[in-house]
Amino acid sequence: MKVMAQMGMVMNLDKCIGCHTCSVTCKQAWTNRTGVEYVWFNNVETRPGLGYPRTYEDQETWRGGWERTRRGRLRLKGGGRFKKLASIFSNPKLPSLDDYYEPWTYEYDTLISAPLGEHTPVAQPKSLITGKPMKIEWSANWDDDLGGGPEVISEDPVLVKIRDQVADRVKLDFENAFMFYLPRICEHCLNPSCVASCPSGAMYKRAEDGIVLVDQDRCRGWRMCVSGCPYKKVYFNHKTGKAEKCTFCYPRVEVGMPTVCSETCVGRLRYLGLFLYDADRVLEAASVEDEQDLYRAQLDLMLDPHDPEVIAAAQRDGIPSDWLTAAQKSPVYRLAKEFEVALPLHPEYRTMPMVWYIPPLSPVVDALVETGHDGEDARNLFGAIDSLRIPKEYLAELFTAGDTDVIDTVLRKLAAMRSTMRDVNLGREVDVSAAEAVGFDESTVYELYRLLAIAKYEERYVIPAAHSEQAHELEELGCSLDFDEGPGMYGSGPFGEASGMPVPVAVENFHALKQRQTSEAVLDTGNKRGRVNLLNWDGKGAPAGVFPPDPGKGS
Amino acid sequence: MNSTQILLWDVLPYVTIAVFVVGMLWRFRYDKFGWTTRSSQLYERSLLRIASPLFHLGMLAVVAGHVVGLLIPESWTNAVGVSEHFYHLNAVALGAVAGAATLVGVAMLVYRRRTTGPVFAATTKNDKTMYVFLLAAICLGLVATMTGAGVLGDGYNYRETVSVWFRSIFILQPQGELMADTPLAFRVHALAGMALFMVWPFTRLVHAFSAPLGYLFRPYVVYRTRSASTAGNRTPRPGWDRTNA
């Protein structure tokens, strides 16, 4: 047994209202730059829907993730090492910009500079790729809230898969449609196929906390990681020619702060914490024959941080004691392993993803109430799960490789919690039969309720800070762009944009923050240079007026 | 041999090597982040799908051809019973295929770069300059090949002069006089080649030296942990590495 620590996330889909705050704040923090306009480290998809990039889940087309050979070995679905090298001059499975969308801005200037005329001036869309006027035909969220209707939605790869089984229950016409939201970040997999696909060896999994990162200095822009990732959560920066991906906000996590997406989630549906797992058995778990056993195999990898044997092994393997404590208090461990209500997304990709989801139950209650039933009664709820408006089969295809029994169990647990807590809230005698039916006792129900419904900040986020003695293990390996003399990412090197030495993100943020805090005005109103629309700042250099002059240097 | 010839064929090769080697080391040390060819596949892929492999594979064959033609002495091929005629027949046949693939590939790539809006927008001055040098070397190389094969002029056995001169540089006994009397096409091509190698370290061509052969031998999943040489938040600048004192 080799114990390793892994930062993980759980999202409670029952609470996601699809407000996209996580996506927006993530974008502002990480991908508000030229070259990554189309990049969403965090995005929220409406399911059913095409996803981002479109139909990324169709692995017969995109060939991401792993597959099991007949002899029981794992191999990259996109082809082995030789095939990767043979196709290096033109990556055959790279989504094109059309599969994402062509990013754009608007000609805002027209609004104020147009001559007086009969008609109101219009800010025309302008491509951020070509700089030419363009017709907007798709975006990161074109099918948000089932936008586009049946003709778009019906191409959802998950829906295509289950269509035959549940044809009678999957209805896409307006009154009968179903939907829920699926926020996605990089899964920071235990068995990452993007890392395995990288010819340069630039992608790596941090041994300390399992966060998967791209070494910007070693990336040579072969783009195999983009093809290798079945979740398509590695993106290609078309300006710098390097891969970029969700960083799990490691500069924040290292100092004990939650990721930006978690921190800003208005629904408070994200949980962050540690898993301890047995690194020696990852490959074995990822290679189990039956896809539907993958969830269980992954769960079995997660070690019980209270087990004396695990504790001893963890200490032997260099896990600091406060990390052990954090692992014992980890909300993600409790939700995934103790309560078994959180499920991995698409375990059939065999990457052992470490972002887990609690499947949504909500619509069933409303549906029951509408039919005149008591929507919170356990018996009604249990019965209704089978006829959920969101078909179990659909959820199963997302979270358990099609095993509806697991989905059923999880939803029953959530339903039992609801009905038990309802008794408590109404001051009735607590009927524990529903809870017992799913293997919970009353106190377990309270604990689950506290974690899911009360969701205190410090209980949602149990993040042990990186150790000072470990600090140099966690050094930022370069995420951005500057030179010895440059104040951050504001320069351009002699070999085209973004060449030169990288500056650590924390340093860059530090300077930006310092400048903001030491300038007198909120905006530099002294001249017109202050007029910059930050939302559409394409990240090219330092737009005049965004960063006040450094008082230390004079202007 | 006059002084110009000495400069061109005895001195310039060493200048080229020096600029190339020092330039590559410098670039690698100071600009790892810029060490990429900035793929434009995201913008356009249907043309690239054909043109890029055509050009690159053609180029690899051309490089192999240069290695064989320049590094292997004629006496060796004679010794194993390959006649001059047979050698040249092969060289010209294979060379023509590789050269044509390269030329068609690069023509398509340049066409694509010029006509596809986003690709053209992403082309820097550095790239354009590089294309001039690269295209010059390729086109002049083809002219030289045809001269050697007798398609243009009477044919010429470069292995008795150019190749000997090439090898003489690397054994530090440059015989520039061998180049002085070769057909113009060979001399111009050699100069274009040297020019290309001199700009090489300062263009996107550096990506040729990051062929990821290590991928074949490393474990699939890479873990990274403690690195004793770096500490703190920033990797020390070259020349400011920490000591253990």
Taking an 8 Å cut-off on Cβ atoms, the answer to whether A472 and B227 are in contact is: yes
- For B137, the token pair is 């070397």
CA distances to A297, A404, A445, A516 from A483, rounded to whole Å, are: 47, 54, 55, 22
Q: Which of A88, A199, A472 sits opposite B230 (nearest CB)?
A: A472
Pick from A30-34, A173-177, A355-359: least confident:
A173-177
List the alpha helices (DSSP H) in A335-493.
362-370, 378-385, 392-399, 404-425, 433-437, 442-449, 457-460
B46 contacts in chain A (CB < 8 Å): none
CB-CB neighbors (< 8 A) of B214 in chain A: 201
Helix (H, G, I), strand (E, B) or coil at A181: strand
CB within 8 Å: B212 and A495: no
Count Cβ atoms below 10 Å from residue B23 Cβ, excluding itself: 17
Which A positions 16-35 lie with beta carbon below 8 A of chain B?
none
> A127 φ, ψ to 5°?
-65, 135
* pLDDT one-digit tens code per residue, A110-135: 999 999 999 999 999 999 998 899 99
Closest residue in B to A211 (Cα–Cα): B223
Q: Look at A206 and B223 and tell me if their CB atoms are within 8 Å.
A: yes
Q: Is the pLDDT of residue B119 over 50?
A: yes
Let me know: does A78 contact A228? Beta carbons within 8 Å: yes
Q: Residue B208 and residue B232: Cα distance in Å, rounded?
A: 33
Mark yes or no for CB contact B34/A499 under 8 Å: yes
Token pair recorded at residue A139:
């975006």
Q: What SS3 state is found at A75? A: strand
Residue type, position B209, single letter: F
Range A506-523 average pLDDT: 59
Hey, are the CB atoms on B224 and A475 less than 8 Å from each other? Answer: no
8 Å CB contact of A501 and B31: yes
Q: Are A475 and B122 a contacting pair at CB < 8 A?
A: no
Contact A274, A8 (CB under 8 A): yes
Phi then psi dihedrals of residue A333, to 5 deg: -65, -45
Closest CA to A45 of A161, A189, A197, A157: A157
**Chain-centroid distance, C-alpha B241:** 33
Asked whether residue A430 carries a pLDDT value surpassing 70, the answer given is: yes
Q: Pick B53's closest partner by Cβ from A90, A472, A499.
A: A90
Which chain A residues are within 8 Å of B216, Cβ to Cβ?
81-82, 85
Closest approach of B29 to chain A, Cα-based (Å): 9
Q: How confident is the model at residue A36 (pLDDT cuts 50, 70, 90)?
A: very high
Answer yes or no: do B34 and A498 touch at CB < 8 A. Answer: yes
Closest residue of chain B to A97, computed from CA coordinates: B42
pLDDT for position A176: 76
pLDDT bracket for residue A350 (50, 70, 90): very high
**Nearest CB partner across the interface for B216, out of A81, A130, A498:** A81
Strands A242-245 and A234-237: antiparallel
| Interface contact flag, A241 B37, Cβ < 8 Å | yes
**Three-class DSSP labels, A239-277:** CCCEEEECCCCHHHHCCCCCCHHHHCCCCCCEEEEEEEE
Restricting to B residues 17-46, those with a Cβ less than 8 Å away from any Cβ of A are 27, 30-45
Q: How far is CA B116 from CA A130, A169, A520, B92, B123, in A?
A: 9, 46, 46, 35, 11
Residue A27 confidence (pLDDT): 95
Q: State mean pLDDT over A264-271.
A: 95
CA A10, chain centre distance (Å): 10
Q: Are the beta carbons of A411 and A385 closer than 8 angstroms? A: yes
Contact yes or no for B41 and A223 at CB 8 A: yes
Size of interface A-B (CB pairs under 8 A): 181
Nearest by CB to residue B202, choosing from A91, A204, A495, is: A495
Residues whose CB is less than 8 angstroms from the CB of residue A459 and which lie 6 or more positions away in sequence, other chains included: A331, A450, A451
Q: Please judge whether B212 and A196 are an interchain contact, meaning their C-beta atoms are less than 8 angstroms apart.
A: no
The domain spans of chain B are 3-215
Type of residue at A227: S
Candidate from A97, A132, A205 with C-beta closest to B42: A97
**SS3 of residue B120 by DSSP:** helix
Chain A CB within 8 Å of residue B121 CB: yes
Mean pLDDT, chain B, whole residue set: 88
- B214 to chain A, any CB pair closer than 8 A? The answer is yes
Query: What distance in Å separates residue A386's CA from the closest CA in chain B?
Result: 41
Contact residues for A515 (Cβ-Cβ < 8 A; gap 6+): A547, A548, A550
Give the whole-angstrom CA distance, residue A160 versus residue A265. Answer: 31
- Give contacts of A 90-109 with B, CB under 8 A: 90-92, 94, 96-97
pLDDT of residue B54: 95
- Is some CB atom of chain A closer than 8 A to the CB atom of B221? yes
Q: Under an 8 A CB cutoff, do B234 and A472 touch?
A: no
Task: For the beta carbon of residue A459, count every other beta carbon within 10 angstroms.
Answer: 15
Residue A535 has pLDDT above 80, yes or no: no
Q: Which residues of B touch A218 (CB under 8 A)?
A: 32
Burial of B96 (0-12, 13-18, 19+ CB in 10 A): middle
Distance in angstroms (rounded) separating the CA atoms of residues A60 and A78: 10
Architecture of the B3-215 domain: Up-down Bundle (1.20)
B83 to chain A, minimum CA–CA distance in Å? Answer: 34
State how far the Cα of B8 lies from the Cα of B211, in Å rounded to an integer: 32
**Could you tell me if A389 lies within 8 Å of chain B, comparing CB atoms?**
no
Q: Determine the number of helices (DSSP H) and then strands (DSSP E) in chain B.
A: 10, 1
The owner of tokens 């929507």 is A375
- Residues in chain A with CB shorter than 8 Å from the CB of B224 are 204-207
Q: How far apart are CA A428 and CA A410, in angstroms?
A: 25
Q: How confident is the model at residue A540 (pLDDT cuts 50, 70, 90)?
A: low
Across residues A433-447, what is the average pLDDT? 92
DSSP 3-state of A183? strand
Nearest Cα residue to A63 out of A205, A193, A191:
A193
Partnered with residue A44 across adjacent β-strands are A183
| Two tokens, residue A304 | 């019980």
pLDDT tens for each residue of B143-157: 888 888 777 777 788
Q: A191 touching B, CB under 8 A?
A: yes
CA separation (Å) from A370 to A365, A367, A375, A382, A387? 9, 5, 9, 16, 14
* Residue whose pair of structure tokens reads 């470490």 in the numeric block: A354
- What are phi and psi for residue B175, nearest 5 degrees? -115, 70
- Look at A475 and A361; give whichever has higher pLDDT: A361
C-beta atoms of B215 and A84 within 8 A: yes
Closest CA to A349 of A404, A312, A418, A294: A294
Among A25-34, A97-106, B156-165, the least confident range: B156-165
**What kind and span of H or E run contains B131?**
helix B125-149
Angle between helices B184-199 and B125-149 (to 10 degrees): 150
Chain B: give the shortest CA distance to residue A367, in Å: 45
Query: What is the mean pLDDT of the segment spanning B16-38?
Result: 93
**Cβ <8 Å between A495 and B216:** no
Query: What residue type is A443 in one-letter code?
Result: S
With contact defined as beta carbons under 8 Å apart, do B216 and A82 qualify?
yes
Asked if B172 has any chain A CB less than 8 Å from its own CB, the reply is no
Q: Taking the model in full, what pTM does it have?
A: 0.85
Q: Which residue has the tokens 């399911």?
A: A47
Cα–Cα distance, A38 to A139 (Å, whole number): 9
Which member of B38, B121, B126 has the closest CB to residue A130? Answer: B121
Write the DSSP assignment of A117-166 as a string of letters: -SS-----EEETTT-SB------TTTTGGGTTHHHHHTT-HHHHHHTTTT
How near does any CA of chain B get to the CA of A109, in Å?
22
CB A84 within 8 A of CB A225: no
Across the interface, whether the CB atoms of A473 and B234 are under 8 A apart is answered no
Tell me whether residues A495 and B31 touch, CB distance under 8 A.
yes
Is B57 an 8 Å CB contact of chain A? yes
Residues 448-477 of A with CB under 8 A from B: 470-473, 475-477
pLDDT at position A490: 39
In whole angstroms, what is the distance from residue A216 CA to residue B38 CA? 13
pLDDT given for residue B75 in this prediction: 86
Q: Tell me, rounded to whole angstroms, the distance of Cα A397 from its chain centroid.
A: 18
Kindly determine whether residue A501 and residue B30, on different chains, have CB atoms separated by under 8 Å. Answer: yes
Residue of A nearest to B226 (CA): A473
Contact yes or no for A240 and B33 at CB 8 A? yes
- Taken in order B119, B124, B127, B132, the sign of the CA dihedral is positive
| Distance separating alpha carbons of residues A69 and A56, to the nearest angstrom | 22
CA distance B25 to chain A (A): 14
Lowest mean pLDDT segment, chosen from A252-256, A294-298, B190-194: A252-256
- What's the pLDDT score for residue A463? 94
Residue keyed to tokens 């993040």: A463
pLDDT of residue A363: 67
Q: Which amino acid is at A136?
A: I
Phi/psi of residue A398, nearest 5 degrees:
-80, -45
Mean of pLDDT values over A17-31? 95
Mean pLDDT of A134-151: 90
**Separation CA A319–CA A305 (nearest Å):** 11
How many Cα atoms are found within 13 Å in the side-chain-facing hemisphere of A225? Answer: 32
Q: What is residue A203's three-state secondary structure?
A: strand
Task: Find tokens 């993100």 and name the residue.
Answer: A505
Share of chain B above pLDDT 70, in %: 92
Residue A388 has pLDDT above 80, yes or no: no
- CA Rg value for chain B: 21
Query: With an 8 Å Cβ cutoff, is B3 touching chain A?
Result: no
Q: Which of A221, A472, A473 sits opposite B39 (nearest CB)?
A: A221
**Residues sharing a CB contact under 8 Å with residue B231, sequence separation 6 or more, in sequence order:** A471, A472, A475, B242
pLDDT of residue A486: 39
Residue labelled with tokens 């609004």: A111
User: Any bridge partners for residue A46, and if so which?
Assistant: A181
Ranking A79-83, A200-204, A545-549, B219-223 by mean pLDDT, the lowest is: A545-549
Distance CA(B73)–CA(B160), nearest Å, equals 8
Give B-chain residues touching A208 at CB under 8 angstroms: 225
Position B232 scores a pLDDT of 46
**Could you say which DSSP state residue B228 is in?**
T
Element (H, E) at B164: helix B162-170
Range of lowest pLDDT (A137-151, A499-513, B79-93):
A499-513
- Antiparallel, parallel or unpaired: β A203-206 and B223-224: parallel
What pLDDT sits at residue A254?
Answer: 87
Average pLDDT of chain A is 86
Name, in order, each residue with C-beta under 8 angstroms of B93's C-beta and a sequence gap of 6 or more: none
Which pLDDT score is estimated for A443?
93
The kind and range of the H/E element at B69 are none
